[in-house]
Structure 1
Amino acid sequence: MSRKLFAGSIAVATVVAAVLIQSAMSASATSGTSVAPTGDSSVYLAANGKNAASAAVTPQTAPISQDSSLKLSDMTWTSWSDSASGTGSATVNLCDPNCATGKSVTIPVTVTLSAPQQLCGHDFYTDMRLAFQSTPPNGLPSTTTVPVAPLC
């Protein structure tokens, strides 16, 4: 039985990692400043499938995936420049037994955005690091990095 539980935990971890990577490819953000006006020097978080047209600055809520497999909420940002950091909550679909019917959990999280690059005519963060502040469910790592560079 413990071998089956261990194999199941590995399967869940693999699915969650895949979901987080896919999530970054279908990002969206709300409650922040939208697309940069010409000449703006802000750094943006790409959203809605890494779509530069739905960029945001200091979003309070940022559904990282269109399918709701990863969403940030109640975000409070303490910095937003060459790197950004903030705290809030992450809602993650555990995809158990599968992503369509999987249970979601909400976990306190610290978010760090980094590696800004000039893309699509504006500066965008390209990496997001999530550090969960409480014990995550089995199969979910305590920290993970998600690519968030926009697709132009």
Structure 2
Amino acid sequence: MLCAAAALAALAAPASAQSAPADPYPVVVVDCFSAAQVQPEEYILACGDGNNRLVGLHWHTWGAGTATATGTDMVNDCRPYCAAGHFRPYPVEVTLSAPRPWPTHPGVQRFTVIRLLYTDTAPEPVHKDVTYKLVY
């Protein structure tokens, strides 16, 4: 979280003509609130209702092209309906990829694809290996 705040603060700072070129900004993942995140401990996948979130993320890599982590996908089973449902844990390997320019923040790259590989069972009807576009 601190890294994300530092990255956003750096966006607001004016560049000095006399300073050496700064290192490129880290690639970020954008959350449901349009905030930049770097190695977040949690990440909401279902922005509309919060019924699916990644928790306990342990990042193994965070690079210019990909980022990898392990953690738990907490999914509401919505039985008998979502408000009365229970969150179930599913161990998962997470890969972020396909960095692209973040249109509202010139000079910042954001990951645009997330891959979830369930290491045990997957929540029904999801396959054990799924890939989603990140559109935030």
TM-score range, shorter chain: 0.7 to 0.9
Distance 1:116 1:47 in 2: 15
Output one character per residue of 1:1-40: Cα deviation in whole Å (capped at 9) or x when no partner: xxxxxxxxxxxxxxxxxxxxxxxxxxxxx67623532265
- How many residue pairs were aligned? 118
Distance 1:64 1:98 in 2: 19
Unaligned runs of 5+ in 1: 1-29
Output one character per residue of 1:85-130: Cα deviation in whole Å (capped at 9) or x when no partner: 1101110123344333333211111000000000122211001011
Name 2:51's counterpart in structure 1.
69
**When you count helix as a share of all residues, which structure comes out higher?**
1
Distance 1:33 1:83 in 2: 17
Q: Which has the larger radius of gyration?
A: 2
Tell me the TM-score normalised to structure 2 length.
0.74
Higher relative contact order (CA 8 A, sep 6+): 1
* Structure 1 vs Structure 2 CA RMSD: 2.2
State the identity %. 27
Unaligned runs of 5+ in 2: 12-21
Output one character per residue of 1:31-79: Cα deviation in whole Å (capped at 9) or x when no partner: 7623532265111111125x1xx11000112223342211111111111
Tell me the TM-score normalised to structure 1 length.
0.67
Name 1:130's counterpart in structure 2.
116
